[in-house]
Amino acid sequence: MSLPSDTGTSDGIPARLDAALAEVASLRAELEETNRGVVALYAELDEQAIQLRKATELKSRFLAYMSHEFRTPVNAIRSIARLLIDQIDGPLTPEQHKQMLFIQSAAVDFSEMVDDLLDLAKIEAGRVEISPAWFEMVDLFSALRGMFRPMLENEAVTLSFEEPVDLPRLYTDDRKLSQILRNFVSNALKFTQAGEVRVAALRCGGDRVRFSVIDTGIGIAPEHQAAVFDDFSQVDSPIQKRLRGTGLGLALCRQLAGLLGGEVGVESELGKGSTFFVTLPVQLAVADVPFTHDPV
């Protein structure tokens, strides 16, 4: 009877067992190594997340400080421009008067940009105060109507506020909602040369309300619609070239809507017009407020 040459037994089991054990040991070693790699990778990712958070905080703080510090000099420019335009210290020549109006308008643009940057930085840093209260939509609409009346320069465009029908009282931060609608309306007026801008509020899905600003303006092509809510995003158009702006207004609207537990959106057809909307809960729940109420 001949024995298998590699083992001392007839069935070769210990040899196969040895081989299997060796294979298991090598697999285990391989697995442990992979495991160590994964653990190291996690640690690295954690470290990167911490660095990223620090960088974001630093950026937000820098933006907040910078915009805050810009306010004082720009306000000084605005007040001195006002004094000169009012000719309190003596008359101006017509040319000087025109130049002062340019300075004043540039200072107004600049301070609006600084305000938007400061608001965005505060939201990003989680340092924004939400003050919800009960209020009637009609009151908010009439305040907005009053605010925009002096700004309606183009007679070819009408601004109207639809009477809210069957709208409950709202419990949210009315100043932040008003800020969103102001941005929508001022964009709609800016990008509409003729026709109308209409503001409407509709109850949708029981516990939510949708506010829409509908215009008959230049519209936005489908491929640009998603980007308009990003920071500094502007769609190229002849109007855009003529008018200034920073592309921060809608980014701010999106952030503000998020703070109020809602979302923004747009429906638009190039050359026909746009509808910008914000959908909010009728009653802001404390759980919907994503940031701490920590006033700056």
Ligand X SMILES: Nc1ncnc2c1ncn2[C@@H]1O[C@H](COP(=O)(O)OP(=O)(O)OP(=O)(O)O)[C@@H](O)[C@H]1O
Q: Name which of residues 132 to 191 contact ligand X (CB under 6 A).
A: 183, 187-188, 191
Instruction: Report the residue from 67, 187, 268, 279 that binds Mg ion according to the rule CB under 5 A.
Output: 187
Find all residues with CB under 8 Å of 103, minimum gap 6, and list them.
77, 81
Is residue 117 involved in binding ligand X (CB under 6 A)?
Answer: no
Q: Which of 249, 258, 111 is nearest to 172 (CA)?
A: 258
Any residues with CB less than 8 A from the CB of 244 and at least 6 apart, and which?
A: 109
Positions in 238-277 near ligand X (CB under 6 A): 240, 245-251, 274
Q: How far is CA 219 from CA 183, 201, 215, in A?
A: 16, 21, 8
What is the smallest separation between the CB atom of 225 and ligand X, expressed in angstroms? 9
Nearer to ligand X among residue 81 and residue 251 (C-beta):
251
| Phi, psi dihedrals of residue 186, rounded to the nearest 5° | -70, -35
Question: Which one of 123, 218, 264, 280 is in contact with ligand X (CB under 6 A)?
Answer: 218
* Residue pointed to by tokens 């017509």: 94
What's the distance, CA 12 to chain centroid?
72
Query: Do 180 and 253 meet the contact criterion of CB atoms below 8 Å apart?
Result: yes
Q: How many residues bind ligand X (CB under 6 A)?
A: 22
- Compare residues 114 and 130 and give the one whose CB is closer to ligand X: 114
Of residues 117 and 140, the one with the C-beta less far from ligand X: 117
Site for ligand X, rule CB under 6 A: 116, 183, 187-188, 191, 215, 217-218, 220, 228, 233-235, 240, 245-251, 274
Site for Mg ion, rule CB under 5 A: 187, 249
